[in-house]
Amino acid sequence: MSKKANRSGVKAYSGRERMAEWRSASEPSGWRGGYNSDVSTMMEMNRHPFHIWLMAVMMLTSMAAYGRDDLSTLADSLPERWLYEPETTQEFPTDDQWWRLFGDPLLDSLIAEGERANFNLLKAGRRIAIARQSVAKARSAFWPSLSVSGGWNKIRQSGDENVREGDAVTVDYFSAGVDMQWEIDVFGKVRKDVEMQQASYRASRADYASVSISVCAQIAASYIKLRTLQRQLEVTLDHVEEQRKVMKITEARFDTGLASMLDVSQARTVYYSTLASLSSLRTSVAVTVNALALLTGSMPAEMAGRLSAPAALPEVDMLVPATVPSDLLRRRPDVVAAEEQLAVSAAAVGVAKKDFMPVLSLAGSIGTSVHRLDDLMTRRSMTYTIAPQLSWTIFDGFARRAAVASVKEQMLASIDAYNLTLLTAVQEVDDALISYTNAVAYEQSLHKVTEAAQKAADLSLDRYKQGLDAFINVAQAQITLLQYNNEAVEARGESLTALVNLYKALGGGWAVGR
């Protein structure tokens, strides 16, 4: 259309002329292509949508790099897992059954009962089962979740909602379907979580072995203590009988005028003081029996009937290693558990790092929706949706940065705990070796002491009968003899208990040639 003037004298333009005038007025000098260039660029991008996605990904990547200072430490190499050589590990103390060295069938049966019925051990077993199910739960994230639904809906829509007023609309229909949600583990977050739960499971097994070793050692130590107390009770009863005979001698000598009442009083003092000590020993015996009943998960009355008959202490003299190989320390369950806890912390760092990666998920559903139940499975009633989605958190107020820093600190704390456990193991083994060696030496030295005390008691009594010494020498010799006899029995029990503690510190038995 050509340019012309209207009645008011204003020029009239066609659409093309108006656009040309706008372009010439708005573009800067030297500019070419403006509008046409924009249009052509948009047309090119529409023809190549991949360029748009590429630009978006580059923008998201640059935005995700915001605050990358905290990620510089995440590139540090971390051990994938902690492995143990089979020959240096011991899952349970029943692997070697070190207590059979004592040669006591009753002790063997008590430890077997404790392994079956001790409640601390049962709780540790439950924790293993819990950890195993946690692994199964973590593995379930590899698979999609499916759910089914069905129902009937009735909807009434207001007639006044539209621009044009109309009647209300009521719709009712039946529906049924299957829904699926699946977070695809493209970047390995689920795999890292499974590794963490597996390490936790292995740590729970090590904890169980630690409790098992502790329970077996406590049963053995309590049994040795019981036999020690019963032997001391026998020794005290023998001395009561001997002191009663000596008291009768002093009374006879007093009746004949050969001794004073002082001798009788001193003899009675020794006799009744020894007799009074029996109550304390019987109390200790009963308390130890109750402790064994608790350790084996049985009733005290039943245990008292089985252990009422005294038995001799085992005669065991073990050769102990002068130095302890490192593999004996590394097999200790508490060391294994500490190392597995370190593996848990390292895997937790990996899980936290995966939060910086995008999440690929897939949602879908298939079902049917009809007005009549007869049409529920017809082809035209079928519905479905498929919805893949890629989501990527680009900013969360540095929450992920704090989470990574937290789990890294937890890993450092686990390293400290592991080192402390190792040092504690070394200390306990060293203490147990020293205690056992010195306990055996003390027991051997007491043999000569008790022999000398017995000879002194016999000589003092003979000299008293002959009227050569006062009775005070006999009384002192009797007290000394009882003391050293009880100390000899106690020293035997302490050497056996020290051997049990050495087994416990080493996490089980050992071969002298190792």
The DSSP-derived string for 261-283 is HHHHHHHHHHHHHHHHHHHHHHH
Is residue 230 included in any domain, yes or no? yes
| Token duo for residue 196 | 């963490």
Contacts of 405 (CB under 8 A, 6+ apart): 70
The DSSP-derived string for 487-502 is HHHHHHHHHHHHHHHH
Number of domains in the chain: 1
- Host H or E run for residue 505: helix 471-506
Distance CA 439, CA 393 (A): 66
Per-residue pLDDT tens digits of the chain, which is 514 residues long: 444 444 333 344 344 443 344 334 333 333 333 333 343 443 344 444 444 444 444 434 433 433 333 333 333 333 343 333 433 444 455 567 888 888 889 999 999 999 999 999 999 999 999 999 999 999 999 999 999 999 988 888 877 776 676 777 888 888 889 999 999 998 899 999 999 999 999 999 999 999 999 999 999 999 999 999 999 999 999 999 988 988 898 888 888 888 889 988 989 999 999 999 999 999 999 999 999 999 999 999 999 989 988 888 877 766 565 556 666 778 889 999 999 999 999 999 999 999 999 999 999 999 988 888 777 778 888 889 999 999 999 998 999 999 999 999 999 999 999 999 999 998 998 898 899 889 988 988 888 899 899 999 889 888 888 888 888 888 889 899 999 999 999 999 999 999 999 888 888 766 544 3
Is residue 488 included in any domain, yes or no? yes
Q: Please tell me the pTM assigned to this model.
A: 0.72
Nearest alpha carbon to residue 359 among 195, 194, 188, 193: 188
Is the Cα dihedral 94, 98, 100, 106 positive or negative? negative
Is residue 158 included in any domain, yes or no? no
* Burial profile 96-107: b = 16 or more Cβ within 10 angstroms, e = fewer: bebbeebebeeb
Phi, psi (rounded to 5 degrees) for 367: -170, -160
Distance CA 147, CA 278 (A): 73
Is residue 32 included in any domain, yes or no? no
Nearest alpha carbon to residue 183 among 465, 388, 22, 30: 388
Q: What CATH number is attached to the domain comprising 413?
A: 1.20.1600.10
| Token duo for residue 369 | 């929706």
CB atoms within 10 A of CB 478: 24
- β-partners of residue 169 are 157
Is residue 152 included in any domain, yes or no? no
Question: Which residues form the domain of 218?
Answer: 79-141+188-356+396-506
Q: CA geometry: angle at 143 spanning 139 and 148, to 5°? A: 125
Phi, psi (rounded to 5 degrees) for 79: -60, 135
Distance CA 1, CA 122 (A): 98
